[in-house]
Structures are given as C-alpha cells and as structure tokens.
C-alpha cells in the first residue's frame, strides 16, 4: 500500500484503488486542485467562479430556455467547485448573516441555484443549501463519487482495461464528458468513468 497525500492507493495487479482518508466527521481535506485566482471574500466582483464559459445561444424560437443568473447571465442551476480550503456557508447573502456550517474540503462540487450581488446560493450533494461569496468558488469542474466504487477505464467502454477504482467520497477532476461517460483524474490516475454514481455533472451534460 502506498500513502499519497490524503489518498490511499492500493495496487491489485495493474489496477489501483483510490480511497479518500477522512479525519473524522462529515468533511475531510482533499488534495489540492487547480487554482482559479485568489480573491478574498471582500474583493470587487470579477466573477472568478465563472471561469468556464457558457454558450449564450440565440434569441430564436426555442421552446424552452434555461434560467439565467441575474448577475452573471449564466445558466441556473450550474455546477461549480469549492476553491477555498475553508468556506463559511451563510444563512443569507451578506457577511451579517449567521454561518450555518463550514465547508472544509477544497474541490467539493457544488450546484449554484441563485445569485445575488457577490453571493451565490449553492446546494451540495446532500441537498443542503446556503450562501457563499463568489470568490470562494471556481468554474473548475469536479465530481464526487457517491457509489461504493467506480471503475476508471482506459477508454469509454466497459470492456476496456481498468486503470483504477475510486471509492465513495473521492473527488474526481472532470477533464471531459460525453453523454454517458466522463474522463477524469485523481491523484495522478486518469481514466473514463460512467456518470452513474457521480455527483457534480448533469445526466445529459457534455463537457469539452
């Protein structure tokens, strides 16, 4: 067994098992993910949480158009990730509102469901909802493993060789996604996983 950061990697032949090590409680600390700026909670708005562009679409006669944020004009809901090591989740969109809980796991995928000024109302995989300052979140896409394990394949084909297994609780970096499969990375391992068992990516969402 090889200990790497906060991941445990167990080698079974040529297949690795990736598992997150929790320090106790409901939250752990994940390995560092790509930084998207360093804004503070009182900086001027520059929408650092929206570093991934969104298609605006045409004004044509579409039967339905997704809701858009009143501040960013980006789709609602949409997935982002936690940029900070710690983030206070508040009851309302200002520093005067009470802190309901604290995220302590960098890279945690979150779903933005509303916007107000510098603040984003987010939902986590358990359905808990609160307000975060925009500077604490990033457009870098991550996904949380909710299944007991997911297989990282060499290709988007269930019969292709296995590169690794990722256990429940592991956060995966989303590199690209097709309708049914996503190419992911975690702790130096890369591979293709089915969307089933992941939280942080839409069922029909495609990422280039």
Q: Which CATH number goes with the domain that contains 118?
A: 2.30.30.40
| pTM for the full predicted model | 0.72
> Does residue 131 lie within any of the structural domains?
yes
> Does residue 34 lie within any of the structural domains?
no
Q: How confident is the model at residue 56 (pLDDT cuts 50, 70, 90)?
A: very low
| Beta-carbon count within 10 A of 83 CB | 27
> Does residue 10 lie within any of the structural domains?
no
Give the residue numbers spanning the domain of 133: 73-142
Angle at 172 between CA 117 and CA 48, to 5 degrees: 25
List, for residues 146-177, the tens digit of each pLDDT value.
999 999 999 999 999 999 999 999 999 999 99
State the total domains in the chain.
Answer: 1
Handedness of CA 65, 71, 76, 81 (dihedral sign): positive
Q: Which of 50-64, 70-84, 188-202 has the lowest mean pLDDT?
A: 50-64
The answer to whether the CB of 103 falls within 8 A of the CB of 112 is: no
């Amino acid at each position: 067994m090889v200990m790497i950061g906060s991941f445990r990697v167990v080698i079974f032949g040529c297949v690795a098992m990736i598992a997150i090590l929790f320090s106790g409680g409901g939250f752990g600390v994940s390995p560092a993910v790509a930084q998207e700026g360093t804004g503070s909670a009182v900086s001027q708005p520059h929408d650092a949480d929206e570093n991934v562009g969104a298609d605006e679409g045409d004004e044509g006669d579409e039967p339905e158009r997704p809701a858009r944020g009143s501040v960013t004009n980006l789709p609602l809901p949409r997935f982002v990730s936690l940029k900070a090591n710690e983030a206070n989740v508040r009851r309302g969109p200002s520093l005067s509102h009470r802190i309901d809980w604290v995220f302590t796991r960098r890279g945690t995928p979150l779903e933005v469901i509303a916007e107000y000024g510098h603040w984003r109302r987010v939902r986590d995989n358990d359905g808990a909802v609160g307000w975060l300052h925009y500077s604490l979140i990033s457009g870098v896409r991550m996904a949380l493993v909710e299944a007991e394990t997911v297989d990282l394949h060499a290709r988007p084909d269930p019969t292709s060789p296995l590169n690794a297994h990722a256990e429940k609780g592991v956060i995966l970096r989303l590199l690209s996604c097709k309708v049914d499969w996503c190419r992911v990375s975690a702790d130096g391992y890369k591979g293709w996983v089915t969307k089933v068992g992941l939280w942080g990516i839409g069922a029909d969402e495609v990422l280039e």
